[in-house]
Structure 1
Amino acid sequence: MGGIDQHNLKTTTLEDINLIELPKIQDPRGNLSVIENGTIPFSINRVYYLYDVPSDAYRGGHAHKKLFQFLVPLSGSFDVVLKDGFGQGKIITLNKPNKGLLIVPGIWRELTNFSSGSVCLVLASEMFDEEDYIRDFAKFKSIKNS
């Protein structure tokens, strides 16, 4: 997949978001899930995780121009509020460590409603680049609707 050009950034919608079920190997000693090349549609260039997020706090509050992300709830649960700049948006609750959410460029995201002890793993297609962020929702809507 790689990057995405400016035209596609303007046309991505919530229809481009996917929940991906990860392989789950069940064992009486505990379950194991695997993310390998081909499990998600991009090469992983950055990995980070969110934890100890207060239940009344939120993370995110931005969109990306090029970056693809895959979010996995390793523990607990949280909501992902998604907006494409065209409609009302939607909320997806992540609460199973063998299901992750693929977010494409051009989608506004906010993470909220973290349960106690929740951990959100994020796999990203790009290294951190502040220029890739759109942090103002009015600017995001302007780009999407231009």
Structure 2
Amino acid sequence: MSVFGTPSLPPHSELFQFVRKGDERGSLVALQGHDNVPFGIQRAYYLTDTKPGVSRGFHAHHQLKQLAVCVSGRCRMLMDDGVTRTEHWLDAADKGIYIPPMVWHEMHDFSVDCVLLVLADSYYDENDYIRDYAHFKALVQKF
């Protein structure tokens, strides 16, 4: 029986096994439209198995727009636009947080069962990342 309760898959359907990457911090599964997902999302990924006491993020993006949702468990999001820093708990599957370009973000205090899903408006591009906070602050000051 399939996950959705139907006795078998419809004709021409496929089961997908996504690649799990990880290290001592935990695991990440990336989903990209027209790559390993057969429809037009640009990118989706989720964080899982984050080790106790480990934080993630610590970057901003020049152009990328994202929406983060804890589909299981909870984590604390720190958002910083270069002027104001705020913290928000993502602690329910029906709560999400929009992360616009040029907002420094960090994820802290992951629960053991946390699965953090992130949807993005474009594909992964290392050149879009700002990984140094001082550089981020200098860029924000220009506006």
CA distance in 2, matches of 1:44, 1:99: 20
| Larger proportion of helix | 1
The structure 1 segments of at least 4 consecutive aligned residues displaced by more than 3 Å after TM superposition are: none
CA distance in 2, matches of 1:94, 1:44: 23
Matching residue of 1:74: 71
The one of the two structures with greater contact order (alpha-carbon pairs below 8 A, sep at least 6) is 1
Structure 2: runs of 5+ lacking an equivalent: 1-39
Q: Does residue 1:140 correspond to 2:114, yes or no?
A: no
Residue 100 of structure 2, aligned match among 93, 99, 104: 104
Q: 1:107, CA displacement in angstroms?
A: 0.2
* CA deviation map 1:48-106 (0-9, x unaligned): 0000001301111000011011101010000001111113x010000110111111001
CA RMSD after TM alignment? 1.1
Task: Name the SS for the 1:50 alignment partner.
Answer: strand
CA distance in 2, matches of 1:95, 1:55: 17
Task: Name the SS for the 2:139 alignment partner.
Answer: helix
Q: Match for 1:135: what amino acid? A: R
Residues 20-39 of structure 1 aligned to structure 2 (within 5 Å): none
Task: Name the SS for the 2:134 alignment partner.
Answer: helix
Matching residue of 1:125: 121
**How many residues matched?**
103
CA distance in 2, matches of 1:109, 1:64: 9
Larger radius of gyration: 2
Identical amino acids, percent of aligned pairs: 41
CA distance in 1, matches of 2:41, 2:86: 26
